[in-house]
Structure 1
Amino acid sequence: MTTFKGKTVLVLGGSRGIGAAMVRRFAADGATVAFTYAGSKDAAEALAAQTGSKAIRTDSADRDAVIATVRDSGPLDVLIVNSGFAIFGDALEQDPDAIDRLFKVNVHAPYHASVEAARRMPEGGRIIVIGSVNGDRMPVPGMASYALSKSALQGLARGLARDFGPRGITINIVQPGPIDTDANPADGPMRDLMHGFMALKRHGRPEEVAAMAAWLAGPEAGFVTGAMHTIDGAFGA
């Protein structure tokens, strides 16, 4: 496929899981792809070699590093912000510094990356941020900070859609439910609990999330912006 031939794509957080599926999908569809990683150097180098993409070490908790990486990538046709993490546990006992880092990665990085990318994006550019169904629904205790961070992305998309719309740049949030990755394996200890909330009793595949992102980045989605796109097996229904 050559849907994205001649297009430049940057994936923030692309070495593993959903991010790696994004890199593979856009590279297979003809794009010139770069992606960032933090601690997974071996996985990043292997993925870059497999896909012909470029791996860039960037800490998404470092605002200036995120901005510099986006700026140095030149005019982007597609920005995908996938970097993120969760903290589990009693809110009364969690480390405030760890919570602040979560907000830097899950909220600050998507905002600053989106704004920086839009400075040089051509008309018709696409910004896609990976959120979570937990931005809509949090059915278990111990994940308040994560849910807060994913809900914040909804406001980010609605607001920046207004700012970037006059230039034909769209911004959308993809909200996965349980996806089979290292962080949330399909055979993990939370499987039965999560599947109990779902209409489709299985984890999703990273490739399914990448397919939704590819559609949002493609020509058929030019009128779609400021919206949340949930892919969760009805976890949040």
Structure 2
Amino acid sequence: MKMMTNLFSVFDPASSIFNLSLNWLSTFIGLLMIPSMYWFMPSRYHIIWNNILSTLHKEFKTLLGNPNQKGTTLIFISLFSLILFNNFLGLFPYIFTSSSHLVLTLTLALPLWLTFMIYGWINHTQHMFTHLVPQGTPSVLMPFMVCIETISNIIRPGTLAVRLTANMIAGHLLMTLLGNTGPSLASSIVMILLVVQIALLMLESAVAIIQSYVFAVLTTLYSSEVI
């Protein structure tokens, strides 16, 4: 029990200097990494980031499928950027990983889902009812399908939040476990451990990108059902 307490203590909100809580500071440090928008010639980093955002804009626009809702993709691009910054900052040593906590992920998922539901049920009530029964469902199964679709709709913000949190916690825990075994190993095995840790760090970098993309895409798909 003590070992598990120490293991999960890396996720405890306990970072402070002069009694000032610094837990969520990493959430805003990403703003310092954004390139200046007032350069006469944009940097390579700026060009690459603009290409990424324009690609996401085209993809989200395709997923939404409604040309009348202009500017909607900006919400999901901003969401992707915020989660990506937090995920990457969590890979640095001694930085509180805010995206590994349900407090942040639920704060992102729940208001968006709730807004989509309120908008859909007020403005497109009949359309929302038709979504409860998939096309081609036999009449006998319709009551069961309504219950299943309702439950799957209600748990959407929870699954969004838990998916991001679990993926960020899993990799960090594995790296922490391997890192804690380093002092007790022989020098020859430590070299292997370093290679494994570097490989895990690269994997976590990929997970950071994929999870932020998945979160933004799923939110876009949920919104496309009500627009």
TM-score, normalised by the number of residues in structure 2: 0.29
Bigger radius of gyration = 2
Which structure has more relative contact order (CA 8 Å, sep 6+)? It is 2
Greater fraction strand: 1
**More helix per residue:** 2
The TM-score, its normalising length taken from structure 1, stands at 0.28
